[in-house]
Amino acid sequence: MQSYDYDVIVVGAGHAGVEAALAASRMGARTSIFVIKLESIGRMSCNPSVGGPAKGHLAREIDALGGEIGYVTDLTGLHFRMLNRKKGPAVWAPRSQNDRQLYSQIMRERLESQANLQIIESLVTAILTCPDGVCGVRTQSGREYRAPKVILATGTFMRGKIHIGKHNYAGGRSGEPAAEEISHSLLKLGFPLGRFKTGTPPRVDLRSLDFNLLEEQPGDENPSGFSFYRQVQLKNSISCYLTHSTSQTHAIIRENLGLSALYSGIIEGIGPRYCPSIEDKIVKFPDKDCHQVFIEPEGLNTHEAYINGISTSLPPQVQEQIVHSIPGLEHARFMRYAYAIEYDYIPPHEIKLSLESKRLKGFYLAGQINGTSGYEEAAGQGLICGINAVLALEDKDPLVLKRSEAYLGVLIDDLVTCGTNEPYRMFTSRAEYRLSLRQDNADERLMPLGHALGLVSEERWQAFSRMLAIKERERETLCSTNTSRHPDLKEPIKFAALLRRPEYSFSDLEAFGYQKPEDVSPDIAQRIELEIKYEGYLKRQEEELSRFFSAESLPIPEDIDYHKIGSIAWEAREKLDRIRPQNIGQAMRIPGVNYTDTSSLMIYLKKMKLIKNA
């Protein structure tokens, strides 16, 4: 009989690892988490920002399930903005700028104060196995730790190689060592490894910028955070700033392309299409004469600022020329230089929907090592791994979220079903059910699950249940009560029918005789308004989806010119053109071709009378 030191071992304390460890220990498992440097727990490797399109949805879903990213983001946020306000509510996206150091410090405090959880600073060098699966890890010092469940969340560290111009050296992130041996241990166990890359821009001293030439971007007047039912006073304590690249910037980049690690062929790994380097932007969009550049302060106790939009692997002296060619940054003093990093990942066809490895029982994989990119994507996978490791210990079925339930379900299903041949990032267009998967209703979709798992505190659960009861009661009132007579109406109608009209909002109802009870908060009012207004769209979404999924066998003409279909994303057009699927079913299974692209293809085929009944 094997004896164990822990129930669950988590390797890595980045965004995936911390969620995995907190979830497992909160569910009662004796857990340990390994990190190379204690000071780096929860470190934001790139920009100190959480949320944005689809990522904001993920952060709120993680919070609703009982994860930590949303809460720590709210506690350490310096600047909050709801993006896409002018578009439909399905794509509204909360985004925050955070204090990088404070985020890491608070996350460490959350881990240190967690019962059942031991933090160990040590580099893990090998995964230990027994005849029936994984059974622990070995560290650099030769010490072995035993557990029946091991979660690997090592981010960009496995055989990490940092590139600046033609120089490169081993490193997991700037200033931190790479994890070399663990890749060899995985290879010995039969795991295939691929190579991806990512990059980060330079950081400069805020005091050296000319603010007269920068456009201020203040936070929202009424900031929205990420965490449900936790009392955090959100504050906008800083502004961000906008400037742009110039024709001089572009000329410098073109002249020096041969010195870029990316363009001189030194980097083999594939980079994230959606966070392109500035070299990429100049080469791929030669006609664009400027690109946006955001200046994002890194914290309250530092003058360091992140220059969002100019991630690069060019040499330091060229980086200086680039930055100094941008209005407002002419005299910017560098604090850190940009770099690119290449690392090993495990192709996600190796994992099941539970995130357990198919190859090794009890071994779970989370975050960047599954081929994803981004804090929220990593945190979501970490949380699911932590939960599923404990459910497996209890002989229970794993938690597998459906695509219709959560962006997290979409993310994991995409990875496992389609794999990925480039760093995977979440987008709203990847979610077929995006009208119902809004960021504002993540609590209604997922909090009951989080509570049942023991991850949502009783206090939060009570607050959620109260909100739900008030919302249901008031919705019922609006659906069953008539308006009073009003000059705008020929005769009284139900309040709900009035609210369905695009010209009216919840706050207009009072003019028609509705008396809003005091317990209906602005948040509840907005939820009711969205639900009632979008009822018809949701029904249509259901019908469209059932038509879509029954269109599997519709043939696609062999000579179709995908480049003529502007409504299909450029990336998808390229893939369709290369692979030339024979039918719609095949098209929809191509990684990188999503539901929206396939729908656009079907609409085009129908319009051109190339298929019927689409």
Ligand X SMILES: Cc1cc2nc3c(=O)[nH]c(=O)nc-3n(C[C@H](O)[C@H](O)[C@H](O)COP(=O)(O)OP(=O)(O)OC[C@H]3O[C@@H](n4cnc5c(N)ncnc54)[C@H](O)[C@@H]3O)c2cc1C
Least CB distance to ligand X at residue 485 (A): 55
Residue 400 Cβ vs ligand X, minimum distance, rounded to whole Å: 20
Q: Which of residues 17 and 348 has its CB atom nearest to ligand X in the complex? A: 17
Say whether 204 sits in a helix, a strand or coil. strand
Alpha helices in 208-346 (DSSP H): 247-256, 278-284, 316-324
Alpha helices in 11-98 (DSSP H): 15-26, 55-64, 69-76
Q: How far is the CB of 114 from ligand X (least distance, A)?
A: 16
Burial per residue of 235-260, b for 16 or more beta-carbon CB atoms within 10 angstroms, e otherwise: ebebbbbebbbbeebbebbeebeebb
Instruction: Name the residue nearer to ligand X (CB basis): 41 or 611.
Output: 41
CA distance 15 to 153: 9
Cβ proximity to ligand X, 108 vs 434, nearer residue: 108
Q: How far is the CB of 339 from ligand X (least distance, A)?
A: 6
Pick the closer one to ligand X by CB: 16 or 560.
16
Q: How far is the CB of 40 from ligand X (least distance, A)?
A: 5
As separate numbers, helices (DSSP H) first and strands (DSSP E) second, the chain gives 17, 21
The C-alpha atoms of residue 17 and residue 35 are separated, in whole angstroms, by 9
Q: Are the C-beta atoms of residues 11 and 152 closer than 8 Å to each other?
A: yes
In order of 61, 155, 314, 432, 463, the CA distances from 447 in angstroms are 8, 28, 46, 21, 11
C-beta of residue 280 within 8 angstroms of C-beta of residue 253: no
Instruction: With CA atoms as reference, report the closest residue to 225 among 443, 107, 56.
Output: 56
Amino acid type, 272: P
C-alpha span between 24 and 363 (Å, rounded)? 14
- CA 507, CA 600: separation in Å to the nearest integer? 37
- CA dihedral (463, 386, 379, 352) positive or negative: negative
Task: Tell me the CA distances in angstroms from 591 to 568, 570, 580, one per residue in order.
Answer: 14, 14, 13
Which one, 156 or 245, has the nearer CB to ligand X?
A: 156
Chain residues that interact with ligand X, rule: CB under 6 A: 11-17, 34-36, 40, 45-46, 123-124, 153-157, 172-173, 179, 182, 198-200, 275, 341, 367-368, 373-375, 378
Q: Which of 388, 393, 389, 385 is nearest to 369 (CA)?
A: 385
Nearer to ligand X, 160 or 592 (CB): 160
Least separation in angstroms between residue 96's CB and ligand X is: 14
Yes or no: say if 43 and 72 are a contact pair by the CB < 8 Å rule: no
Q: Which is nearer to ligand X, 183 or 243 (CB)?
A: 183
Distance of closest approach, residue 38 Cβ to ligand X, in angstroms: 9
* Least distance in angstroms from the C-beta of 321 to ligand X: 21
Q: Which of residues 373 and 388 has its CB atom nearest to ligand X in the complex?
A: 373
Q: How far is the CB of 234 from ligand X (least distance, A)?
A: 23
Task: Choose between 15 and 445: whose C-beta lies nearer to ligand X.
Answer: 15
In terms of phi and psi (left: phi > 0; alpha: psi -120 to 50; beta: otherwise), the region of 251 is: alpha
Tokens of 213: 């030439």
Burial degree of 205 (CB within 10 A; 0-12, 13-18, 19+) = middle
Report in angstroms how near the CB of residue 424 gets to ligand X at its nearest: 10
The amino acid sitting at 533 is K
Min dist. Cβ of residue 328 to ligand X (A): 22
Smallest distance from the beta carbon of 158 to ligand X, in angstroms? 7
Comparison of 253 and 365: residue with beta carbon closer to ligand X: 365
Taking the least distance from each CB to ligand X, the nearer of 343 and 433 is 343
Nearest to 488 by CA among 513, 457, 454, 459: 513
By CB atoms closer than 10 A (0-12, 13-18, 19+), residue 369 is: buried
Of 45 and 321, the one with the shorter C-beta distance to ligand X is 45
**Least Å distance between CB 22 and ligand X?**
13
Rounded distance between C-alpha atoms, residue 86 and residue 83, angstroms: 8
In the DSSP assignment, the letter for residue 484 is P
